[in-house]
Amino acid sequence: MNSIKINTFILLFVLAQLVKTASSQNDYFADPVDIPIFLSGNFCELRPNHFHGGLDFKTQQRIGLPIYSAAEGFIYRIVVSPTGYGKALYVEHPNGTSSVYAHLHRFRDDIEAYVKSEQYNRESFAVDLSPDKKLFTVGKRELIAFSGNTGSSGGPHLHFEIRDT
């Protein structure tokens, strides 16, 4: 009888810790958009030649909606491509995750100026940049870009991912 009580206590303790961890992770990230979230694409959704790697948030069929960092961190990668994710930002967070924002119309002004300068220096529209981590630090809910329809996109939306880095 004693071992049943101990095992029940251990099980309840473990479950409580799991719930506490899950709820703290839920508070860690904020929505990257200020509009109601409706999905146009799901994680692992079967596509013609791959599984979808993130969530696609509808942007009310509009381009130019503000996009915010889901948590504090720094921008560690900026990509501009005529295909794939189009214009995309990658933010690394202190909790060991990173977030991805893709198919963007444009970046906020300081990031846009940095990218344009690098494009001219490299004489290339397509760039894959790794800025110093001190160059673009971001806070939770800080403006980072504007929604778009760039790259291999079928219409205006935000492709969003949270990755375990």
Distance CA 150, CA 14 (A): 45
Share the mean pLDDT of the chain: 85
Lowest-confidence region among 22-26, 38-42, 161-165 = 22-26
Q: What's the one-letter identity of residue 80?
A: V
Residue 7 in this model has a pLDDT that exceeds 60: no
Distance CA 81, CA 107 (A): 14
Q: What's the one-letter identity of residue 101?
A: Y
CB count, 10 Å around CB of 4? 8
* Confidence at residue 53, expressed as pLDDT on a 0 to 100 scale: 64
